[in-house]
């Protein structure tokens, strides 16, 4: 007999909601905070399932990478000297920009931007009544 997969140790907001996985141990502080703010909402609204965990971890890892780049930029500045004495953007500034663009793509995929939320059927929003048209 196959075990019931819903009998996991994941915490839930209520008995009727989908179990919410804890943040992966590999996430840093910024990633864990993002996970705790984003994942429960997505699970409770039915916009994410356990099939999305890898993508959600990647989304939250972007927050960690942005925080790490910000720490480097805070210590070293946004520009560095070239070998010829000129100035160029610090590699951490370029990486932060890359991570912010990747984060934006993940946020859109999960309907976490104002524009992308417009494309989500109203019935799937938690606490929002459906309109008859």
Instruction: List own/partner pairs for 62-66 with CB under 8 A and 24 or more apart.
Output: 62/99, 62/100, 62/102, 62/103, 62/106, 63/30, 63/31, 63/33, 63/34, 63/103, 64/27, 64/28, 64/29, 64/30, 64/31, 65/95, 65/96, 65/99, 66/30, 66/96, 66/99, 66/100, 66/103
Read off the pTM. 0.76
pLDDT of residue 84: 92
More confident residue, 40 or 7: 40
What is the overall mean pLDDT for the chain? 84
Rounded CA-CA distance 105/99 in Å is: 10
- Summarised one tens digit per residue, pLDDT across range 12-69 is 544 455 678 999 999 999 999 999 999 999 999 889 999 999 999 999 999 999 999 9
């Amino acid at each position: 007999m196959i075990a019931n997969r819903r009998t996991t140790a994941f915490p839930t907001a209520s008995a009727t909601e989908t179990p919410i996985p804890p943040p992966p141990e590999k996430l840093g502080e910024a990633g864990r905070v993002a996970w705790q703010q984003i994942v429960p909402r997505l699970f409770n609204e039915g916009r994410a399932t356990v099939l999305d965990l890898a993508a959600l971890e990647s989304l939250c890892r972007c927050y960690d990478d942005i925080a790490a780049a910000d720490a480097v930029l805070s210590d070293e500045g946004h520009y560095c000297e070239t070998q010829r004495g000129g100035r160029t953007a610090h590699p951490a500034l370029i990486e932060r920009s890359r991570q912010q663009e990747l984060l934006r793509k993940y946020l859109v995929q999960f309907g976490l931007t104002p524009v992308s939320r417009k494309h989500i059927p109203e019935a799937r929003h938690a606490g929002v009544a459906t309109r008859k048209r």
